[in-house]
Amino acid sequence: KQEVTQIPAALSVPEGENLVLNCSFTDSAIYNLQWFRQDPGKGLTSLLLIQSSQREQTSGRLNASLDKSSGRSTLYIAASQPGDSATYLCAARGSGGYQKVTFGTGTKLQVIP
């Protein structure tokens, strides 16, 4: 059974700081890993998708890496802004069966002006 863990559960940083969010998964047989952003009371917004054959993906100030062998992914946010404040979730899609997606519990980020 896939288990996805995100550390830290909460993070508070001053504006402008670079930061790294961590995601670990127990079953390396994944199809892809996806990072989402969730604002309070809202749905999920897809940020980055990394296929199992890829090592990283970049979009603007965001960079996500994937190391399947160690069961880890990181989301790097450069030059953080108050608008980045949200909960960040990672989700691993299994490679077998119907490719179930398993979510972590998220990291709640607060960027202080």
Partner 1 sequence: DTGVSQNPRHKITKRGQNVTFRCDPISEHNRLYWYRQTLGQGPEFLTYFQNEAQLEKSRLLSDRFSAERPKGSFSTLEIQRTEQGDSAMYLCASSLGVGGGEAFFGQGTRLTVV
**Least gap, CB of 92 to partner 1 (angstroms):** 11
DSSP-assigned beta bridge partners for residue 91: 34, 103
Burial class (CB in 10 A: 0-12, 13-18, 19+), 11: middle
Smallest gap from residue 59 Cβ to partner 1 (A): 12
Q: What character string, x for contact with partner 1 (CB under 8 A) and - otherwise, covers 1-30?
A: ---x--------------------------
Total binding residues toward partner 1, as defined by CB under 8 A: 27
Q: How far is CA 49 from the centre of its chain?
A: 9
Nearer Cβ to partner 1 (81/95): 95
| Close Cβ partners of 58 (under 8 Å, ≥ 6 residues apart) | 48, 64
Cα 56 from Cα 67, distance rounded (Å): 9
User: Binding mask 50-89 vs partner 1 (x if CB under 8 A, - otherwise)?
Assistant: -x-------------------------------------x
Is residue 29 within 8 Å of residue 94, measured between CB atoms? Answer: yes
Which positions touch partner 1 (CB under 8 A)? 4, 31-32, 34, 36, 41-46, 49, 51, 89, 91, 93, 95, 97-106
